[in-house]
Amino acid sequence: MTVTTTLQTLDELDSPLLSAVHRAPGHVGPDGPVGRWEGIDGNEDWADEIRRLKTARNAVILAHNYELPEIQDIADHTGDSLALSRIAAETDADVIVFCGVHFMAETAKILSPDKTVLIPDAEAGCSLADSLTETELAEWKAEHPDALVVSYINTTAAVKGLTDVCCTSSNAVDVVAGLPADKEILFGPDQFLGAHVRRETGRDNIHVWAGECHVHAGISGPELARRAEENPDADLFIHPECGCANSAIYLAGEGVIDPERVHMLSTGEMLTSAKVASDAGRGKVLVATEVGMLHQLRGVAPDVDFAPVNERAACPYMKMITPAALLRCLALGADEVDVAPDVAEKARQAVERMIAVGNPGGGE
Ligand code: SF4
């Protein structure tokens, strides 16, 4: 991965709020403890200043569903990682500000190589993307030279560059089912999504990398069972990356939970299903994914009671995109995300092969 700040290439813009922005200690980044950018509240003065700077830069602000509510509310578009990258590819804006984690901004850059892509904090990594490195994938491929590599969209550009076809949680089953049955598959990095794909396709020639997202893995099967028992009438919206995903299938199969209540959904599909739940007069939905998703769900279906399976399932990397970080980003033109052209070209092919399968849905 290549990260550069753009103090040299983008003009700095004056902002009266910038002097208050500082790194605060106490949060964990991908390479150890690193402070978030803090010092500014996400109030109306801040929102006015963000809009002024955005216009001055001719920028578009994209925010992932797991971002802080004030970041989601100021964004031009909110959604899952792939949907946002596709919006980025079509925008007329000169600058794309990607409020998400680093691999997501890289994907936007891969699909929009001629645009300037900024992330408000380049330290915002991802434990799932970090669980399969370029070196590890190269070694794994060497052990299985005839295998095809299918990588979840939550991977670095370098890993995508070694991948035959990417997938999202919406289309992982379709992507794998569409590959020749006699071909070995290397599936990574998420073990829970890999188990879901193996179960759904019935293929026994899939090797699954033992990676996981620490946030989703923390939403456990026993916790899901307890919450489902406490709320016998609630539907269950479950992201396939969650540690409880296999348990949900098992509990439904055993009759402990009514299978009709269990919905395995990407984040984009959760929003569609929220509207369906509202139209059907459903009272309560338990949600197994990162808690930032609740803000979007409550927005599209305010009459439904959405509750987290695990209220502590907050991604510390997503929450590094603070109001202060976004202000700094727009004022200084930093941090810029770049991907080497040869890596970007190979990674783009893996993403485009996935889109050609159809139903890319959304990434995380
Ligand atoms: S919730 Fe997990 S998979 Fe998503 S960005 Fe955070 S660490 Fe990565």
> Is this structure's pTM higher than 0.95?
no
C-alpha 178 to ligand 1 mean position (Å): 27
pLDDT band for position 34 (cuts 50, 70, 90): confident
Cβ of 318 below 6 Å from ligand 1: yes
Torsion of CA 40, 41, 42, 44, to 10 degrees: -100
Residue whose CB lies within 8 A of the most ligand 1 atoms, among 130, 191, 216, 294, for a mutation test: 216
Other CB atoms closer than 10 Å to residue 289's CB: what's the count? 29
pLDDT band for position 6 (cuts 50, 70, 90): very low
C-alpha 239 to ligand 1 mean position (Å): 12
Cβ of 364 below 6 Å from ligand 1: yes
What pLDDT is recorded for position 360?
58
The answer to which of 2-16, 79-93, 150-164 has the lowest mean pLDDT is 2-16
Residue with the smallest CA separation from ligand 1 atom 8 is: 126
Q: How far apart are the first and last CA of the chain?
A: 20
Q: Whole-angstrom Cα distance, residue 159 to residue 351?
A: 12
Q: Mean of the pLDDT values across residues 350-363? A: 77
User: To which residue do tokens 């299903």 refer?
Assistant: 273
Cβ of 126 below 6 Å from ligand 1: yes
Across the chain, what does the average pLDDT equal? Answer: 91
Cβ of 320 below 6 Å from ligand 1: no
C-alpha 238 to ligand 1 mean position (Å): 15
pLDDT band for position 251 (cuts 50, 70, 90): confident
| Higher-pLDDT residue of 71, 258 | 71
146-164 per-position pLDDT tens digit? 999 999 999 999 999 999 9
C-alpha 11 to ligand 1 mean position (Å): 32
Query: Which domains are seen in the chain, by residue range?
Result: 7-125+317-339 (3.40.50.10800), 134-213 (3.40.50.10800), 220-308 (3.40.50.10800)
